[in-house]
Amino acid sequence: MTLPWPLFLALLKLLGRRRRFESAEGLRAAVAHDRKTARAEPPASVRKRCTVSQRQVNGHACYTLAPLSGAGTTQLLYLHGGAHVAEISPFHWRLVAELVETTGCVAHVPIFPLAPEHTYRPACAMVNEVYRTLAAAHDPRHLVLMGDSAGGGLALALAQGFAALGLPQPRDIVLVSPWLDLTVTNAAIPALEAVDPWLARPGLAAAGRWWAGDEDPGLPHLSPLHGSLQGLGRLTVFIGTRDLLLADCRALHVRAAAQGVPVEMHEAEGMVHVWPLLPVKQAMAARATIAGIVRGGD
């Protein structure tokens, strides 16, 4: 089911999604509420579309979604967003299930620890272990690393870490509305914030500090905008013009050009945060493009 874009924007405002990001206190209260209600398991609708299995990695669940028949060779590692504080959502699961169905890939979805209960360290240890296991078992030309929002920043930081160690890169790195700088200090952000119906700086900055713990949230392993882009897999970024994270995505594009690294940018006019995940007509073309990238190695 798809919703008309004006109706979705009205629902976004009605649900008060942005309010949770307007202060650190508001975000902490929203997180406390979410912990009582959110479920990380794939919903029943996903289990009807895919074969679902689970394993433990560093004491946390990692789900594998495979086609009901005819799996291809591509292995997709998906890192979900949520400002490093929110659990995986049905929107994430629907996107991953759709990619499994339409491309034949096998998708791996780690349910990593979140802030403010945890800093980045156990989450990074977990996703590193998942990726290392995949890279040891599969040709890197069949690996795709993907993340949205905070998961997009985490995915890029993960790839940068492996590049620095000379370890295999995924064939493709797909970033959807990635959060690339936890400090949210880009001078172009305030103008974008004024038209963003979803995100606001105070809550994001607080979440970034919780995730960083006792470290500077602007360090490259936390804010990959400031890290090297040399030696990475192919980079593709999806971002909307009503998303305050657009400022840092454009900065990434500039930095990539300066380093001689190609980045394919899909900048959608009028679209909001993580729009390719949303149940709107405008997201269909973006999801088809993403499916083509995932399918590319088969």
User: Per-residue pLDDT tens for 172-222?
Assistant: 999 999 999 999 999 999 999 999 999 999 999 999 999 999 999 999 999
User: Per-residue pLDDT tens for 44-73?
Assistant: 999 999 999 999 999 999 999 999 988 899
| Residue 298, pLDDT above cutoff 70 | no
Q: Which amino acid belongs to residue 127? A: V
User: Per-residue pLDDT tens for 137-165?
Assistant: 999 999 999 999 999 999 999 999 999 99
- Bridge partners (DSSP) of residue 57 are 60
Contact residues for 92 (Cβ-Cβ < 8 A; gap 6+): 78, 80, 81, 109, 148, 277
Least confident of 3-17, 60-74, 87-101, 213-227: 3-17
Domain of residue 12 covers 5-295
Task: Count the domains in the chain.
Answer: 1
Task: Give CA–CA dist 231/168, Å, rounded.
Answer: 10
Which residue in 6, 4, 22, 23 sits closest to 14, CA to CA? Answer: 6
Give the CATH number of the domain where residue 260 resides: 3.40.50.1820
For tokens 């679902």, name the residue.
Answer: 52
Residue 162: helix, strand or coil by DSSP? helix
